Structure 1
């Protein structure tokens, strides 16, 4: 894990296409969807974090601004299959939280797939909704306040 670097990626960065591919492979393809059918223009408004190892993106997430000045939404968290269960997701979330707290955000929300709910529970997120369907699969809203 020491060789993995977490860095901010802009939409015009060379790594953005790899982030797109990872999101497609991990988040959309398994449920029969494609990012090609989605409006990605909002990506430019997000803080995009990429986990990079040997010039390859192995994980990513996006920090999306909300209408509330002190709140952000984490979205599009993806970790390459070969890196799942090895702490990379926790590493990305820790960096996203630290970035948010440093930038005067006090409240993080996310829509977690029900299958990922235990992961976010371990990171101190609390479920604040009933189960709902998003992109055809069950999700819940989870939230965390700045300590």
Structure 2
């Protein structure tokens, strides 16, 4: 059974997620997740999907600014990609933050997955820019209560 959880910073689950983030999001780009990438994470919230005891997807949210939250470092385990887990994670996080009074979610999407985020209700804003060596675009989604 798939379940949605917030996990504490520096917990064993958080440490497990670091391994997934590095393997799935960074190593394919020829870089490693660094201490610089995690330096501010104590002030950020960490969310995952679990299938039993296995963490299969996750993302991080930055502290809110003007009822907007930036999402970052979303990943889905290789065995679960294409099975709707990314969409499920975004749905769960949207519902969570809507209950908390957040009005908008923002993220930097890799251009290669822009259409995925559009299917999840996100709209592109601005120009394409380079982040971690690859093209990205800012995307936002309005939340409703």
Seen in structure 2, the aligned counterparts of structure 1 residues 121 and 39 have a Cα distance that, compared at 3 Å, is closer
Deviation per CA, 1:73-124, whole angstroms, max 9, x where unpaired?
Answer: 0111000111001010011101111111111110110000001100100011
| 3-state secondary structure, aligned to 1:128 | strand
With normalisation by structure 1, the TM-score equals 0.92
Cα distance in 1 for partners of 2:143, 2:2 equals 26
Number of residue equivalences: 144
Q: Name the residue aligned to 2:10.
A: 12
Cα distance in 2 for partners of 1:16, 1:36 equals 15
Cα distance in 1 for partners of 2:85, 2:143 equals 21
| Structure 1: unaligned runs, 5 residues or longer | none
With normalisation by structure 2, the TM-score equals 0.94
Alignment partner of 1:38 out of 29, 36, 39: 36
Cα distance in 1 for partners of 2:48, 2:103 equals 22
Q: How does 1:1-147 map to 2 (within 5 A)?
A: 3-66=1-64, 68-147=65-144
Deviation at 1:37, TM superposition (A): 4.8
| Structure 2: unaligned runs, 5 residues or longer | none
Cα distance in 2 for partners of 1:134, 1:94 equals 25
Deviation at 1:146, TM superposition (A): 1.6
Cα distance in 2 for partners of 1:85, 1:4 equals 15
